[in-house]
Amino acid sequence: MWNESAVRESAARAVPVPVPAASPNPKVSAMSGFLKVEQLAKAYQADKPVFANVSFTIDKGEFVCIIGHSGCGKTTILNVLAGLDTASSGHCFMDGREIAGPSLERGVVFQSHALMPWLTVRQNIAFAVKSRWPDWGRAEVDKQVEKHVAMVGLAHAIDKKPSQLSGGMKQRVGIARAFAIQPKMLLLDEPFGALDALTRGTIQDELMGIVRETHQTVFMITHDVDEAILLADRILLMSNGQETASGYKPGGMAEVVVNPLPRGRTRAQLHHLDGYYELRNHIVDFLVSRAKAH
């Protein structure tokens, strides 16, 4: 169980909060939270799991980022949450039900936009909306599409095809499509990783504004420390598996860091905020000294 006073104290000092212990019986969920991940493990080779004993929770409306070096299992965890992969052991619950397979209750945005090139922006998003509400008429679908296209600033490009859009615009369409189906949770796998710094910053601001407006629950993978500090309420730090003197040690959840900066923060003011450098240095030190990159 979380120690609430410890959490508040940790937030004030920008230091990591210990990961809570999982229930001894994984079928009996003793953890609180909208999303519960309990004792998750993934192994492609039985004696050398990629990660093991990964447990964490995400509250409704919370934005959580996960950071770690390539190979630690971040994307595998996200794919398990999306229902696109299965864990070797452990359980994931969302809103009281165990996750088993893909669902429109979980919207996913990948680094590649995954748009259908033969369809316009309108048609790409309408395809998802019709899947979510098959009984809706054209007017209802169009209203939902246009609302979310406008939300990401692409009303002027609604009838263009992906080949006519820049990389940043394509990612906006992917974000609009994910929000348009009104998922209970949004899963983001480095959605801005392929974008230039200026475009990336602009879309970060847009995403932050939309999340605050909709109170969306978000789980996001990133390699960008500043991006995590800007967006996340909490940051999960993952370590890689490694050989030790006593044998192989699987990767796992090393620390959970509470972001103490005010939630209304912006990119422009980020480096002026008290606690920013302490928080950033702590995460960078973890990645450089303790995450054991391969």
Give the model confidence (pLDDT) of 82-119 as tens digits: 999 999 999 999 999 999 999 999 999 988 778 999 99
**Could you tell me the two tokens for 89?**
């052991």
Task: Give residue 32's pLDDT.
Answer: 60
Mean pLDDT, the chain, whole residue set: 86
For 236-284, write each residue's pLDDT tens digit: 999 998 888 888 889 899 999 999 999 888 888 899 999 999 999 999 9
Task: Give residue 47's identity as a one-letter amino acid code.
Answer: D
pLDDT higher than threshold 90 for residue 123: yes
Q: Is the Cα dihedral 69, 72, 75, 77 positive or negative?
A: negative
Cα 232 to Cα 151: distance, rounded to the nearest angstrom:
21
- pLDDT attached to residue 35: 96
With residues binned 3-state (H G I as helix, E B as strand, rest as coil), the percentages for the chain, rounded to 5, are 35, 20, 40
pLDDT digits (tens, 9 = 90+) for 198-220: 888 888 888 888 888 889 999 99
**Would you state the pLDDT for residue 17?**
41
Domains of the chain: 4-104+218-290 (3.40.50.300)
Do 49 and 73 form a contact (C-beta atoms < 8 A)?
A: no
Whole-prediction pTM: 0.84
The per-residue pLDDT for range 185-203, each reduced to its tens digit, is 999 998 887 778 888 888 8
Query: Is residue 20 over pLDDT 90?
Result: no
